Structure 1
């Protein structure tokens, strides 16, 4: 893999850290800026909505520009708004910076997926995708805990400064190493929104929704259902992240074979894993094993589906990358909402059952849809 892909992955790492780190910084931000904790939660919602809207919109706007220019603009905006966020004393301005950061993040990821797949052989899209999405999994392992530690010891603003600083090497690498290749208007118009592409995007959203449904509420599952002390929570969150990284890395090689049976087998095991987790969540040993296993399977299946979508949308990789990014974030936004409703009705095991239901739905749609679709 070209070295520049790993530097693009570094930018994705910074962006994913920014997206997830507010889970540990919300109370401090609320106290410092004089708002309630629920109001501070708007920062997370604003980011999610910006990601959903920004990916296809910026992909369309940037499709006529050289990819290097679009990557530079979006990453520069992302960096600058984090500096503004670190300096501001206004919650309204901070909220605006989160929206702008999300728009830039979504646009960057959409273009980066297209750029990554054009920097490798035509049959290596899966491995290129796994390098970029590996940045997201590393954020779960390293970035989010580090952001929480910075917030505890140096204040929440230090986490925003750290994200800006981490983005700098990637910015320099893009300037020096990414070829300025035009996609052209024809590439944008050439994307056929085939049934296969739509099915793959839907499956990606469902699987990612299942992942973030349970990941969002993993802490209360561990403390309230499994009965572990709070000190164990960061370790098991990191274990989930390690599993995710392993899953993405392994899946990158298999995705390029473009054989659907293995991903459906893995999806079936993923479904059984969520059911087993729900049934055995009160058993610490089983919980530890399943946290790692479900992290690996979730990201392996999800990243493979996104790689398939990029193959199916190879006529216009920029727009296909934008749609894939939007699909991931629809799942990341909707999954926790459904999981929260489940908690209201059935307690802290409910998100695990909801995750099983979402994966089961994906398998049903996938089996029916992909049989009738010819994937490119």
Structure 2
């Protein structure tokens, strides 16, 4: 089944959001000089963006729930645009901090509403593929958005990078206005109380925790690829950007493959992805000092790390629902994984050296595998129950037809409804 064109339009919006999220990583020295701050202080702006996403995003989602989905997206584009324009004209660190908080909150809410729109536009059996298309905006933000914004910042100044993102935001908003059909309100089918009712499900919380562990395992090493590849593996600083582009290409490939499998084999994809990532992380930790294996394992992490997003989203939507609030809270748990992986990764580097965050990632991947065990048990129990029901129906059917040479015309319709 073909993915609706509107999903590709939503991917453009996600691309704009992710490019803004990553832009600081490539412009730290220039921004530090322009704002009279230190490089570590600019790094704190990345943390502020992530915290704003994780904490503030769900509240903004609640605020736009009474709007139709398309209008909610327009409002979120507007808030996001304000944040980026404020960043472009910021004259001091405090203003930039406010700008990053605004863009972080709007970005998270946009993810939630956009994924809800994807769910409305596609039937349940095709949602994994649609989510993969939308999430390619995230992958391409890593592959293209970061180097493009860095290139603009280096040649035209860091403010020009934010103006470019603002222009991209306007373009994405216009495409959304014309390319996404009119849909129901974000809270259609129930108010806030019903939305919150989904969070009573233990399976939903377990699915959310698995997502945090998957992303935490990946970002514990992704956040420190540069120093690991230069100081441990021995690559030159000019080679690392090329390796990161190759890593980004691997995420695009992995996301596409996972999207095609996520609908029918959701938990199996997550389990296999975590097992493979555990192997790649362990191999990288052991052989980070050998260039060829290090690159191979790095590419492997790209294939099965953040690329689990389509399966993660599909699992969460099935455990809760496909509405905006559940999707936004899920995005918050994903962002929590980014925070945990990067923050704790930095702490273990100080104590144990540059291989430590790789081992941390392996440990988080192992915990992710453990977190899937109850889900596998539930699925096994559900399979037994369905087999028992089918077996009971078969016995009842056999009894109904006993002593006759042929079933009555209505018997085949009546018999399956008989229970043990």
TM-score bracket, normalised by the shorter chain, equals over 0.9
- Of 180, 185, 208 in structure 1, the residue corresponding to residue 183 of structure 2 is 180
Asked if structure 1 preserves the Cα contact closer than 8 Å seen for 2:269 and 2:311, the reply is no
2:125 aligned residue: 123
Which stretch shifts more, 50-59 or 213-222?
50-59
**Per-residue deviation, 1:266:** 2.4
Counterpart of 1:327 (choices 323, 326, 333) is: 333
Q: Which residue of 2 aligns with 1:112?
A: 114
Match of 2:242 in 1: 235
1:345 corresponds to which of 348, 351, 356: 351
Output aligned runs, 1:275-294, within 5 Å: 275-294=282-301
Asked whether the equivalents of residues 7 and 169 of structure 1 are also in contact (C-alpha less than 8 Å), the reply is no
Residues 254 and 162 of structure 1, relative CA distance in 2, 3 Å threshold:
same
1:203 aligns with 2:202: no
Structure 1 residue 280 displacement after superposition: 0.9
Question: Taking CA–CA contacts closer than 8 Å with sequence separation of 6 or more, which of the two structures ends up with the larger relative contact order?
Answer: 1
- Whole-angstrom CA distance in 2 between matches of 1:261 and 1:98: 37
TM-score w.r.t. the length of structure 1 is 0.95
> Structure 2: where are the runs of 5+ without partners?
383-420
**CA distance in 1: counterparts of 2:103 and 2:27, whole angstroms:** 17
After alignment, is 175-184 or 242-251 more displaced? 175-184
Residue 48 of structure 1, aligned match among 47, 50, 59: 50
In 2: Cα distance, 1:263 partner to 1:365 partner: 11
Q: Distance between the aligned counterparts of 1:168 and 1:317, measured in 2?
A: 25
- Report the 3-state secondary structure (helix = DSSP H, G, I; strand = E; otherwise coil) of the residue aligned with 1:178: coil
Aligned residues: 374
**How many angstroms apart in 1 are the aligned matches of 2:304 and 2:251?**
7
In structure 2, what is the Cα distance between the partners aligned to 1:284 and 1:236?
11
Max radius of gyration: which structure?
2
Q: In the alignment, which residue of structure 2 is the partner of 1:266?
A: 273
Post-superposition offset of 1:192: 2.3
Give the distance between the partners of 1:197 and 1:370, measured in 2 at CA.
Answer: 14
The 8 Å contact of residues 14 and 137 in structure 2, kept in 1 or not, is answered as yes
CA RMSD of aligned residues (A): 1.7
SS at match of 2:123: coil
Given that 2:255 and 2:310 are in contact with CA atoms closer than 8 Å, whether structure 1 keeps it comes out as yes
1:358 and 2:361 are equivalent in the alignment:
no
Q: How much does 1:185 deviate?
A: 6.3
The answer (yes or no) to whether the contact 1:247–1:296 under 8 Å persists in 2 is yes
User: 1:165: how far off?
Assistant: 1.1
Q: 1:41 to 1:299 in 2, by over 3 A?
A: closer
Equivalent of 1:296, from 292, 303, 316? Answer: 303
1:58 aligns with 2:64: no
Alignment equivalent of 2:148, drawn from 146, 149, 169: 146
1:317 pairs, out of 312, 323, 327, with 323
Length-normalised TM-score, structure 2: 0.85
How far 1:357 sits from its partner (Å)?
0.4
Q: How does 1:12-91 map to 2 (within 5 A)?
A: 12-91=14-93
Match runs of 1:148-163 below 5 Å = 148-163=150-165
CA distance in 2, matches of 1:2, 1:18: 26
